[in-house]
C-alpha cells in the first residue's frame, strides 16, 4: 500500500501544469480536473485489468474504469487482439461494414426495448438524437428530465434544476439559448407526483420522459419501488414515450441493462460506454415503428462520419462476447456486493453516517445520516468529508471517481484480493478523516 509520505506525484503535477496552458482546465472532460474533490489530478500512464499506473509509477486499483467502458478490465487481451486484427484492415470505412450488423444483432438480442439500433460516437450524441426522435415521432416538443440525471452536454439537457414542477427549463450553462431549454421540464428523481403534475399541466405537449433508470450522475441513486413502473404507466396514459438513458447502466446492471433487471420496457433506449469497449461508440434504439423515422429510412436526420467504424465495432463486439459468458454478472454482483457492503461497514465502525449500496457492477456511498432518493438529498451529504475520503484513498492507491456526484464501477478483473486491499485502505482512511 502507498503511504502518504511516499506518495510522489511530481510528474503528474508537471504534466498537468503544462496541460492547463494548452486545454481549458487542462483536461478533455471537466470531471477529470478533480475540481469537485480538490487537489491535483493524477496523470495516467497506462491501464491493465483492474489497475492504473500514473506517470510517477504509482499503482491504483481503479473503480472508475474510464467511466464505465472497462467492465471487462482495462486493455483486455482478447479485446486488444481483436483490435490488432481489425486495425490492419483499416480504422474507418465510411461505408457499410458487416461488423455493424454483428454488434447491432447483439444489442437487439440483448436489450428488450430495441428492435432497431443506430450507432453514433458518444452518449451525448445518442441522447441528443433520441430527443429529436421523441419529438419527431410524437409531433410534440416538451420533454421531462430529472434533476441530477445527466444525458450528455447537448443544449436542451443543460437545464437548471427546476425548483417546483411548473418551472420551464432555464439554461444551466452560458451559451445555451433560453429557447432551447424552455421545452425541457424537470422534476425530482423518484417523485412520481411531480411527473403527474407536469403531465396534468401539459396534457398533450409532452413528447416523453427520459431518465437514468439507475442514477449514476447524482452519485449512486437507485429507483424507488414503483417509480419506473409508474413512469411506464403515466407515459402510456398520456401518449408520451418512455426513454431509458442506459449509457451508464447498459450491459452493466445486467446484460440487457436496467430494463432487463427491473422488467420495465421503455420505448427507446440510449447506450454508450460498455458497447464501445473503450472506443467511441454510442447508440440509440427502440421500437421498430419509431426507429423507422430515422434517416434515410425516414425523415428525421442524424448522421456521423465515424459512426459504426470497424475498430469501435470490434471492441464493442468482443466486450459483449466476454460479458455474455455464463457467470459474468454473478461475478460482478458478488465482488461489488463485497466492496459496497464492506465500505459501508468500515465507515459505520469508524463512526461515520453513511448510506449507499450497489446494483451489479455499479455502487456508491454518501456521507449522510438520511437516505438519498434524489439530487437534492445527495447535495445535502457531507461533500467535504467525501473530498477527504477521496484524497486519502488516492494516496493509498485506490482510484475512486473524483466527485460525490458520480457512481463507482467494478469489472470482471477486480479480484477478492483487490477488494480486501480496498477495504483495508478505507478502514485506515476513515479512521482519520
Ligand atoms: P458521453 O457523451 O460522455 O459519452 O456520454 C454522456 C452520458 C449520457 N448519459 C449518461 C447516463 C452518462 O453517464 C453520460 C456520461 N457519463 C459521464 C460520467 N458521469 C462521463 C464522464 C465525463 O463526463 O467525462
Distance 29 CA to ligand 1 centre (A): 10
User: What residue's CA is closest to ligand 1, atom 19?
Assistant: 217
Q: Note the pLDDT of residue 72.
A: 98
Provide mean pLDDT across the span 124-134.
98
Cα 185 to middle of ligand 1, angstroms: 20
d(C-alpha 8, C-alpha 301), whole Å: 51
Q: How confident is the model at residue 164 (pLDDT cuts 50, 70, 90)?
A: very low
Query: What is the predicted pLDDT for the residue at 178?
Result: 87
pLDDT at position 286 over 70:
yes
State which ligand 1 atom lies nearest to the alpha carbon of 249: 11
pLDDT, tens digit, for every residue of 176-224? 988 888 999 999 999 999 999 999 999 999 999 999 999 999 999 999 9
pLDDT at residue 5, as a whole number: 54
Mean pLDDT of 149-170: 76
Give Cβ neighbours of residue 380 (< 8 Å, ≥ 6 apart): 368, 370
Residue nearest ligand 1's atom 15 by CA: 152
What pLDDT band is residue 165 in, cutting at 50, 70 and 90? very low
pLDDT of residue 167 exceeding 90, the answer is: no
Query: Please, what is the Cα angle at 388 between 387 and 393, to 5 degrees?
Result: 100
Residue whose C-alpha cell reads 419527431 in the numeric block: 136
Q: How far is the CA of 18 from the centre of ligand 1 (A)?
A: 26
50-66 pLDDT tens trace = 999 999 999 999 999 99
Domains of the chain are 10-63+327-430 (3.90.1150.10), 78-323 (3.40.640.10)
Q: 183 and 193 in contact (C-beta within 8 Å)? A: no
How many Cβ atoms sit within 10 Å of the Cβ of residue 79? 24
Residue 304: φ, ψ to 5°: -175, 125
Question: In sequence order, which residues have a C-beta less than 8 Å from that of residue 16 and are 6 or more positions away?
Answer: 26, 40, 41, 43
Structure confidence at residue 161 as a pLDDT band (50, 70, 90): low
Residue in 150, 375, 407 to alter for ligand 1 test, most ligand atoms within 8 A of Cβ: 150
> Whose Cα sits closest to atom 8 in ligand 1?
151
Of the candidate ranges 132-136, 168-172, 259-263, the one whose mean pLDDT is the lowest: 168-172
pLDDT higher than threshold 80 for residue 1? no
The answer to whether the bond into 296 is cis (omega within 30° of 0) is yes
Residues forming the active site = 150, 245, 273
Q: How high is the pLDDT of residue 224? A: 98
254 C-alpha to center of ligand 1: Å? 19
Over the stretch 326-376, which tens digit does the pLDDT of each residue have?
999 999 999 999 999 999 999 999 999 999 999 999 999 999 999 999 999
Set of cell numbers at residue 131:
430527443
Which whole number is the average pLDDT over 226-236? 98
Q: Which residues surround ligand 1 with Cβ inside 6 Å?
A: 29, 31, 67, 122-124, 127, 150-152, 212, 216-217, 245, 247-248, 272, 282, 406
- Global pTM reads 0.97
State the distance from the centre of ligand 1 to the C-alpha of 76, rounded, in angstroms: 22
Amino acid at each position: 500500500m502507498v503511504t502518504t509520505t511516499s506518495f510522489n506525484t511530481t510528474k503528474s503535477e508537471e504534466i498537468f501544469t503544462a496541460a492547463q496552458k494548452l486545454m481549458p482546465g487542462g483536461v478533455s472532460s471537466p470531471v477529470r480536473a478533480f475540481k469537485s474533490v480538490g487537489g491535483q489530478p493524477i496523470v495516467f500512464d497506462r491501464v491493465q485489468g483492474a489497475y492504473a499506473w500514473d506517470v510517477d509509477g504509482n499503482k491504483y486499483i481503479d473503480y472508475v474504469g474510464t467511466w464505465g467502458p472497462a467492465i471487462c478490465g482495462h486493455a483486455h487481451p482478447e479485446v486488444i487482439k481483436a483490435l490488432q486484427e481489425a486495425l490492419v484492415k483499416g480504422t474507418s470505412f465510411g461505408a457499410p461494414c458487416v461488423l455493424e450488423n454483428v454488434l447491432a444483432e447483439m444489442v437487439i438480442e440483448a436489450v428488450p426495448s430495441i428492435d432497431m439500433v443506430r450507432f453514433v460516437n458518444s452518449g451525448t450524441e445518442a441522447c441528443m438524437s433520441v430527443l429529436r426522435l421523441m419529438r419527431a415521432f410524437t409531433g410534440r416538443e416538451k420533454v421531462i428530465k430529472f434533476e441530477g440525471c445527466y444525458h450528455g452536454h447537448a443544449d436542451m439537457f443543460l437545464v437548471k434544476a427546476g425548483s417546483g414542477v411548473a418551472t420551464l427549463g432555464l439554461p444551466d450553462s452560458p451559451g445555451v439559448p433560453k429557447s432551447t431549454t424552455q421545452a425541457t421540464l424537470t422534476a425530482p428523481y423518484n417523485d412520481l407526483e411531480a411527473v403527474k403534475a407536469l403531465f396534468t399541466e401539459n396534457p398533450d405537449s409532452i413528447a416523453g420522459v427520459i431518465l437514468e433508470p439507475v442514477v449514476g450522475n447524482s452519485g449512486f441513486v437507485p429507483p424507488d419501488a414503483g417509480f419506473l413502473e409508474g413512469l411506464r404507466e403515466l407515459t402510456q396514459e398520456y401518449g408520451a414515450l418512455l426513454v431509458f438513458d442506459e449509457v451508464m447502466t447498459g450491459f452493466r446492471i445486467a446484460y440487457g441493462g436496467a430494463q432487463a433487471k427491473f422488467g420495465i420496457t421503455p420505448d427507446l433506449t440510449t447506450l454508450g460506454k460498455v458497447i464501445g469497449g473503450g472506443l467511441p461508440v454510442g447508440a440509440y434504439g427502440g421500437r421498430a415503428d419509431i426507429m423507422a423515422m430515422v434517416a434515410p429510412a425516414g425523415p428525421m436526420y442524424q448522421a456521423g462520419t465515424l459512426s459504426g467504424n470497424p475498430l469501435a465495432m470490434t471492441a464493442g463486439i468482443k466486450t459483449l462476447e466476454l460479458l455474455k459468458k455464463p457467470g459474468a454478472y454473478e461475478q460482478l454482483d458478488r465482488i461489488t456486493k463485497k466492496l459496497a457492503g464492506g465500505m459501508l461497514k468500515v465507515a459505520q465502525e469508524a463512526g461515520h453516517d453513511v448510506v449507499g449500496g450497489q446494483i451489479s457492477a455499479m455502487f456508491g456511498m454518501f456521507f449522510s445520516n438520511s437516505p438519498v432518493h434524489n439530487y437534492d438529498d445527495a447535495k445535502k451529504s457531507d461533500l467535504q468529508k467525501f473530498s477527504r475520503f477521496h484524497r486519502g484513498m488516492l494516496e493509498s492507491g485506490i482510484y475512486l471517481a473524483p466527485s460525490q456526484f458520480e457512481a463507482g464501477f467494478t469489472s470482471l478483473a477486480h479480484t477478492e484480493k483487490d477488494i480486501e486491499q480496498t477495504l483495508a485502505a478505507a478502514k485506515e482512511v476513515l479512521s482519520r478523516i
